[in-house]
Structure formats: structure tokens, C-alpha cells
Amino acid sequence: MTSLTDCRALDAQDPLRSLRELFALPEGVIYLDGNSLGPLPQAAPERVARAVREEWGEGLIRSWNTAGWYELPRRLGDKIATLVGAGEHEVVATDSTSINLYKVLSAALAIACADAPGRRTIVSERSNFPTDLYIAEGLCRERGLTLKLVEHEEVAGAIDADTAVLMLTHVNYRTGAMHDMRELTAIAHAAGALAVWDLAHSAGAVEVDLRGADADFAIGCGYKYLNGGPGAPAFVWVHPRHAERFWQPLSGWWSHAAPFAFTHDYQPAPGIARYLCGTQPILSMVALECGLDTLLAAQPLGGMAALRRKSLALTDLFIRLVEQHCGGYGLGLATPRDHRLRGSQVCLTRETGAYAIVQALIARGVIGDFRAGRPDILRFGFTPLYLRFEDVWHAVEHLRQVLSEDEWQRPEFNQQHAVT
């Protein structure tokens, strides 16, 4: 049986323990929801305030040049590239995940259908994040294509000669199950299809090697493990072999080859810059840069490989403690035990009461979240930048008390909020 003393010993030996100081974490809170919204970096309030006070307030429009505003999408893109195995000048930070998916999926379909006009299908996972499926469904309706949805384990077998694009989220948002990007991309390519990857639950949490996997397109989120703040800009990556083959459909002025020439016709910018669209949200960009810098601070300590090792240790510990201390209360495990197949979250299942259990935990200062389904999901994210092994022990102890004392049955925990 692992004790609290054992967990504190693990924290004392943790080479990443100093990174916790980079975040403004509320006293008395164990934050297990960084997979949905990362916490506030210590540097962000002053950095955003300076952008407001000095760059906007004093520099005014001059700050597009003097404060480097114009270069922010590319500069942040290069920082993200180091976290996802992309090359320099291959990523831009811009827009939202949904908008970026629309851009790259449109481009991927244009390429795939030009190379093989008979292909009519997008293959994806039935439990993919809904916005991805909605975007794909809209494009299929617009272009007369078919969206083919299969179970997680059926993806490889569903790719055939009719497949134009394989579209997957690398780590499943409901279960934490992780696809083998390299293997599935190779299967797609062997069938003549392209592979589009959503890294929303991967970037900053697990090791990603887009170039090594020979992926075609990728998008991802800025406000989860990248700690960029609510509604932070997302990012987009396109393999250089595809970047200049087609226009992306949102051909706004920032993606023009010479935006300040103000010509009446559109001439796409070279490379990844053509995947920009309109004027960028500068205050959100500077906040996102603070979040990215928390991850880059781990580089001298072993980078993503070190973060991944700690993530697996934290999630292993959580699973083990839940099974030791919370058995007999109807909890199941949706997340794979195999390290090769697991992201940086642990999802527990329960037929009834899952929402109320999560609410009771939140009232105790243990913040996770709930996802409806059959069965329902209690979802806990483990961000190794700031979580301690001691936090895991205390979180499970709170869960045991909520269950053993039937605390979750109190009326206030069974009133559902708009955001779950």
C-alpha cells in the first residue's frame, strides 16, 4: 500500500518539482483539470498588463512594429513546434481549434480528391471530440462526401481505397486512450489517404513527433496543456510538402503574400503563413506565450520526455490508489493501463452519480470534470508541470470520503451547471 509518506518522498526526488513555482495555484486546491483549462502562469498577469499599459496604451498602433505584435503568430508557432516535433517556420498560432480544423481538413480534402478523384470518405473515431465531427460533417454535406465513424480499435481496418482523409484526435478526450500516430499515418498513406491529427489533448502533455510520424496536417489547442488562458489561440501545422499546394478556404488578408500592398486579388503567402486568416488577438497571444514558456522551462530538465515520465508515474499512482481505496463503489476504468496507449489523464466510469461525485469533489477543492455518456465519465487530468504525488494521494482520499459517506447524494451536488 502506497502511503502519504511514500508520495512525499517521490516529490522530494522529483527533478521537475521547481516548475510548480511558475504557476499561481489557489491555496487548498488540487487542480486535476489542466486538460480542459491550464492554470494561470505567474508571469501572465504582468505580461498582459504591460501589453495593455505600455504596448497598447503608449505604443498604440506603433506596437505592431516596435513591440513585435506582427510576428507573434510565427514566433509562438516556433515555440509550439519544439513541443510537437515540427520544424522551424512550420507552425503558426492563430484562430481556434475548430477554425483551424476547417482550414486543414478542407485543404486535405482538396489534395486527396485532386490526386484520386474517386475517394469519397473521411474516416474518424465515433468518440472523437464533437467539434471535429461537426466540422467534418459540414464539409461532407457541402462536398457530397461521407463521414465514416468507427470504434477506437476499428480505425486501422476502416481505412480503404475509398478513404480520402483519416481525421483523428491523438488522445481521446473522454477516455484518455492514445492512438499510435506513426502506425495509423503509415496505414493511411499506404491506402493513398492523408492523415489529419488533432493534438488538443496531446501538445504539452505527451511526446509528439509530427515529422517522425510523417503526418500531413495537425491542429491543437492553446488553453489546455499549453496554459494559454481561456479561449487562447490554437495552432496549425502543415507538412511542407502540402503547405503550398492549395489555398486554405479562409483566405483572409493576413494570409496574403503582401497584406499591406492592399491589392484587389488574393495571392497566398508562402509556407505556413497562408494558414493565417485575419488580424490576430494580441492580448491573448501574449498570454499564450507565457503558457508556452512554462513548458519550455522544462527543456533543461529533460523536456517532454521528462514530463512524460512524470505524467505516467502520476497516472499510475492515481489508478493504483483508486483501486486500493475506492473499490466497491461502482467505479470502472476507461483509460488504458498500457503506457503506450495512455495520454495524460485518467477517466473513471460510473453508471449513476458521476456528475454529483465530481461536484462534491470540487466543493472539497479537488477539481476534475464530468463527461456524459454510457457509462458517464469522471475525468481527471494530470499535468506534470505543477502536480505533486502528494496531490494525487489527497485527491484519492477525498474521493474515498465522498463515496464512503454518500456525500455526493446531497441535493446541491445534483443540480447540473451549464459547463460540466
Q: Which residues are catalytic?
A: 129, 198, 223-224, 379
Cα separation, 256 vs 145, whole angstroms: 29
Cα separation, 357 vs 360, whole angstroms: 5
Interior CA angle at 80 toward 236 and 136, to 5°?
A: 25
3-state SS track over 124-181: EECCCCHHHHHHHHHHHHHHCCEEEEECHHHHHHHCCCCEEEEEEECECCCCCEECCH
Q: In this structure, are strands 30-31 and 366-367 parallel, antiparallel, or unpaired?
A: parallel
What does each C-alpha distance from 183 to 24, 89, 132, 236, 305 come to in angstroms?
A: 39, 26, 21, 22, 20
Cα separation, 51 vs 416, whole angstroms: 38
Cα separation, 152 vs 190, whole angstroms: 20
- Cβ neighbours of residue 375 closer than 8 Å, sequence gap 6 or more: 332, 349, 350, 351, 354
Q: How would you list the strands of the sheet with 345-350, edge to edge?
A: 332-333, 345-350, 376-381, 369-371
Cα separation, 11 vs 21, whole angstroms: 14
The most distant pair of C-alpha atoms in the chain lies apart, rounded to whole Å, by 71
Nearest one of 243, 242, 285 to 44, comparing CA atoms: 285
Q: Which residue has the cell 512524460?
A: 308
Cα separation, 66 vs 225, whole angstroms: 30
Nearest one of 97, 93, 69 to 81, comparing CA atoms: 93
Q: In this structure, are strands 345-350 and 376-381 parallel, antiparallel, or unpaired?
A: antiparallel
Interior CA angle at 208 toward 75 and 216, to 5°?
A: 80
Cα separation, 174 vs 294, whole angstroms: 26
Is there a cis peptide before residue 375, judged by omega within 30 degrees of 0? yes
Alpha helix ranges (H) inside 225-302:
282-296
